[in-house]
């Protein structure tokens, strides 16, 4: 027996989310059927809003309701530093840390030729344009994940920017705080030894 059309369509939509297969999607669709009307209409509204009300900041590429975003338009932030991150989520993570008060630049991806992600597909060009306009920038901190794609994107950006005389740094690699040496992989250990600091 086919599911009634509205249920079948909702199952299809849930299945488009990452990590949700047919069984889970079906369970979620039937659960939705029993949810209070208000919760479901709020959910539908939230889905629509997230696409219609959020945009990329024209300066840094972070997601925002106003353009420019609250970080780019805040004059009390340190205008001499730009931290380059992959995703808007990463900006949230560094803001939650609370120790960094410079600016950001969100690439929306990393270089990955296998997935068709070249320099044109990510937000690199706007970073260069930005550096030409904002000549007070002294340091670019590259805060990309320690994956092969992250590393090669870091190298690419570094090569583009260094000739302009701007300092390019990247995050320290090493043991995560609270982690166990026994379970660390050998590349992490190698980086931890290379980057050892004096006590």
Q: Contact between 13 and a copy of itself (CB under 8 A)?
A: yes
Report the alpha-carbon distance of residue 116 to residue 126 in Å, rounded: 19
How many residues touch a copy of itself under the rule CB under 8 A: the total is 50
Q: Contact between 128 and a copy of itself (CB under 8 A)?
A: no
Q: How far is the CB of 61 from a copy of itself (least distance, A)?
A: 13
104-107, Cβ contacts within 8 angstroms, sequence gap of 24 or more: 104/60, 104/62, 104/71, 105/60, 105/61, 105/130, 106/56, 106/60, 106/61, 106/62, 107/61, 107/144, 107/153
Q: How far is the CB of 56 from a copy of itself (least distance, A)?
A: 10
**Cβ nearer to a copy of itself, comparing 106 with 137:** 106
Q: Which two tokens stand for residue 149?
A: 């794609």
Give me the residues paired with residue 64 across strands.
55
Q: Which of 22, 74, 78, 92 touches a copy of itself by CB under 8 A?
A: 92
Containing 77, the helix (H) or strand (E) segment is none
What number of other Cβ atoms are within 10 A of residue 180's Cβ? Answer: 8
Report the alpha-carbon distance of residue 151 to residue 199 in Å, rounded: 28
Site string for a copy of itself, 41-70 (x = CB under 8 A): xxxxxxxxxxx-xx--------xxx-----
Which residues ranging from 16 to 35 are in contact with a copy of itself (CB under 8 A)? 16-19, 24, 26-33, 35
Contacting positions for a copy of itself (CB under 8 A): 1, 3-7, 9-10, 12-13, 16-19, 24, 26-33, 35, 37, 39-51, 53-54, 63-65, 87-89, 91-92, 95-96
């Amino acid at each position: 027996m086919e599911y009634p059309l509205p249920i079948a369509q909702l199952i299809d939509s849930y299945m488009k989310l990452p990590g949700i297969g047919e069984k889970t999607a079906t369970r979620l669709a039937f659960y939705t059927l029993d949810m209070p009307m208000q919760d479901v209409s709020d959910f539908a509204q939230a889905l629509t809003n997230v696409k219609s009300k959020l945009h990329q900041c024209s300066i840094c590429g972070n997601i925002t309701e106003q353009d420019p975003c609250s970080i780019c338009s805040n004059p009390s932030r340190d205008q001499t530093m730009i931290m380059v991150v992959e995703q808007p989520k990463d900006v949230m993570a560094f803001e939650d840390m609370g120790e960094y008060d410079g600016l950001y630049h969100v690439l929306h991806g990393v270089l990955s030729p296998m997935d068709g992600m070249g320099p044109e597909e990510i937000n690199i060009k706007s970073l260069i344009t930005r550096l030409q306009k904002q000549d007070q920038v002294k340091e670019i901190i590259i805060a990309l994940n320690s994956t092969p794609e992250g590393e090669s994107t870091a190298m690419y950006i570094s090569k583009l920017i260094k000739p302009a005389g701007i300092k390019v740094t990247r995050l320290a690699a090493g043991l995560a705080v609270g982690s166990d040496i026994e379970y660390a992989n050998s590349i992490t250990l190698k980086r931890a030894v290379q980057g050892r600091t004096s006590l």
